[in-house]
Amino acid sequence: MEKLAVQGGRPLTGSLRIQGSKNAALPILAATVLAEGHYSIQDVPHLTDISVMLQILTALGAKYTHQDSSVSLDTTSLSSSHIPQHLMGQMRSSIFLMGPLLAKFGEVKVYPPGGCAIGERKIDLHLQGLEALGAQVFENEDHIYCVADQLKGADIKLAYPSVGATENIMMAATLAKGKTIIRNAAKEPEIIDLQEFLNGMGANVCGAGTSVIEIEGVHRLKATGYRVIPDRIVAGTMILAASMTKGDLRLENVKFEHISPLVKIVKECGVEIDHTHDIININSRSLVGSIPFLETGPYPHFPTDMQAQLMAFLSLSSGTSTIRETVFDGRFQHVQQLKKMGARIQTNRNEAIIHGSSTYQGAQVEATDLRAGAALVLAGLAATGTTIITKIHHIDRGYQQIEKQLQQVGASIKRIREET
């Protein structure tokens, strides 16, 4: 087991290139099972979740190499639609394979997906969508089996704009007979990226980024090449890292429109941010202001994946802020850890009141999930003394060697082995 040691008090300065998006790369990799051939996918970060997805594809019969940020994938020998239980249990996003495997092979067997413990994350919308396309779903105690001789287009209205369900239905519908319409679809940028990748394979998908997506099924798809969009959550995390350390940071490979909800809030708090094309500059020199109220929600609202990091930031503000979490019911586990470092936060169900003017002190804390771990890294960068963060395997699920990225821009942070 490894942990991070962060010595706080150093402003972040210099330039940093943002990695490709984990949440875009995972469904794109899943979509490769829809067509045999050789794929070249660029800007795929080296993350635990990516590694698990590639291991699953290998277990299904594919072959791959992942060098630098490029994945070369050969699916010509793909022969199985049975995802191994031990791999599926490691990652929530393994559920993305249900739709494409069902469309390709006419059947798929999956197990309950793993991932961060951030509240209830049902897959009922995924299953309902596949059933609407004509699949029969059999649920047993330990696995789910789906079968369909021929998927058929359907008009599907999601009860909630779930990103995963939207993407699973999109992928399955590409090879369905006729037209599929997804209403109340998720609008996240990663949905648009998947649409572009699928259309590059020869699919006929339109409407991604809006609440209505239409897919006209085709008989066959082909392998293609693609470059994944930048990771908006990593970009947002680094914006807050610069802001909390009174830094002067330049971020490259950023899509500004994808992070505008965060940028708007941070600028309102008094941080100087400007951008040109795919470059963002952050300059923070003084104590930042608070925000009266913020609510997380599906894109284009403030992302739940930035809630923990923003809370760490607001603890250093000059006033009192309130955050309401509406997406996941168990996403305040980081509060207790931030309080160990000096944050003053009160929670009541899905609301947190953050009292600013706090001072972070180094402490030993635990990364309870991916984004909670990122928030603790941010607090450690701004703290007096040394912060030790354990269970950093959560952080490795979404940030590619976060310590090396931060070292590049002046942070004192290192990865060390825990004593056994």
* Residue 77 identity (one-letter amino acid): S
Span 62-96, pLDDT tens digits: 999 999 999 999 999 999 999 988 898 888 788 88
**Cα dist from 343 to 212, 294, 337, 339, whole Å:** 42, 18, 9, 4
Annotated domain spans of the chain: 2-19+230-417, 22-227
What pTM does this model have? 0.95
The pLDDT value recorded for residue 121 is 47
Task: Please answer whether residues 71 and 54 qualify as being in contact, where contact means their C-beta atoms are separated by less than 8 angstroms.
Answer: yes
Which class in CATH covers the domain with range 22-227? Answer: alpha beta
| Options 116, 146, 206, 269, the catalytic residue | 116
Nearest alpha-carbon partner for 162 in 190, 133, 119, 126: 126
Task: Please answer whether residues 172 and 151 qualify as being in contact, where contact means their C-beta atoms are separated by less than 8 angstroms.
Answer: yes
d(C-alpha 259, C-alpha 240), whole Å: 12
The pLDDT value recorded for residue 116 is 45
The pLDDT value recorded for residue 118 is 38
**Where are any strands of DSSP class E within 228-368?**
248-252, 272-276, 279-283, 294-295, 320-324, 344-348, 351-355, 364-366
Span 212-253, pLDDT tens digits: 999 999 999 999 999 999 999 999 999 999 999 999 999 999
- 67 DSSP assignment: E
The pLDDT value recorded for residue 416 is 96
What is the biggest distance separating any 2 CA atoms in the chain, rounded to whole angstroms? 63
Task: Please answer whether residues 163 and 191 qualify as being in contact, where contact means their C-beta atoms are separated by less than 8 angstroms.
Answer: yes
Helices within 97-188 (DSSP H only): 98-105, 124-132, 163-173
Mark whether 269 is an active-site residue.
Answer: no
The pLDDT value recorded for residue 106 is 96
The pLDDT value recorded for residue 112 is 73
The pLDDT value recorded for residue 40 is 98
Which residue numbers in the chain have pLDDT < 50? 115-121
d(C-alpha 131, C-alpha 112), whole Å: 18
Which class in CATH covers the domain with range 2-19+230-417? Answer: alpha beta
The pLDDT value recorded for residue 303 is 95
Q: CB-based contacts of 262: which residues, under 8 Å, 6+ apart?
A: 236, 239, 240, 302, 303, 306, 310
Domains 2-19+230-417 and 22-227 belong to one CATH topology: yes
The pLDDT value recorded for residue 402 is 98
d(C-alpha 337, C-alpha 46), whole Å: 27
Enclosing H/E stretch for 325: none
